[in-house]
Amino acid sequence: MSMALKQVFNKDRTFRPKRKFEPGTQRFDLHKKAQASLNAGLDLKQAVQLPHGEDLNDWVAVHVVDFFNRINLIYGTISDSCTDQTCPNMSGGPKYEYRWQDEHKYKRPTALSAPKYMSLLMDWIEVQINNENIFPTNVGTPFPKTFMQVAKKILSRLFRVFVHVYIHHFDRVSQMGAEAHVNTCYKHFYYFVVEFNLTDHKELEPLKEMTSRMCH
C-alpha cells in the first residue's frame, strides 16, 4: 500500500472501532494464520480455504470479524461524500434498493438514506459479534445452532456496502488511489462467501458483471 493510501486508511475514519482478537486464544491464532496466507501472496481462492484440522465455525467467525473491520474502514474513507443529500436511498444503482429491518424500531422493511442504513448496519453487526451467545470467545464453548444463519445475514448485508461503494462512490475511491486495496478486499470477500456458500446468489447480482471480470 502506498504511503498516501496508508495515511488515508490509518486515519481514525473507521465507522466503528476495530474489533480485535485476544492474543493467546484459538481465534487469535486462526486470525494470524489467515493474515499470513494473505501476506504470503497466496492466490485468494486458496487463502480462503479451511485449514486442515480447523473448525469451520471458528474460521467463519474470524473472517466475519475481519471483513467487518475492513469494510468498516472502506466505508469510513468515503463517508464524507455519502450524505443524506447525495444518497437519500440506500441503493446500488436504479435497480437495487435496500431497506432496513430489525427487531426493534424498524419491524418492517423501511427505506432509509445510505448513511442512516450504514450506521444501523454497523451497530447491528457490532451487537452480534460482541454477543458471547452467538460468537463465543472461550475455547470449548460451542457455537449455537443459529451461528451460520447469523453469519450469512451479516455477510449478505456487508456485501451491500460494497455494492453501494462501487456503484455510487467509486470516483472517490479512485481519487484516493484506493482501487487496488478495495478490489483486493472485495475479491477476498467474494471468494470466501462463495467457497462456503454464505451469501445468496441473488444478493451478488448487482456486481455480477464486475465480479466476472475481476474474479476468474
- Sequence spans of domains, the chain: 3-214
User: Is 87 labeled as ligand-binding?
Assistant: yes
CB 52 within 8 A of CB 11: no
215 is in an annotated binding site: no
pLDDT tens string 59-112: 999 999 999 999 999 999 899 999 999 999 999 989 999 999 988 899 999 999
Residue among 169, 214, 208, 167 nearest 187 (CA): 214
Domain 3-214, CATH: 1.20.140.30
Is residue 82 annotated as involved in ligand binding? Answer: yes
| Confidence band, pLDDT 50/70/90 cuts, at residue 5 | very low
164 is in an annotated binding site: yes
Of the ranges 13-27, 91-105, 106-120, 148-162, which one carries the lowest mean pLDDT score? 13-27
Q: Which of 77, 80, 107, 97 is nearest to 178 (CA)?
A: 77
User: Within 10 Å of residue 136's Cβ, how many Cβ atoms?
Assistant: 18
Global pTM value: 0.85
Q: How many Å apart are CA 66 and CA 61, to the nearest integer?
A: 9
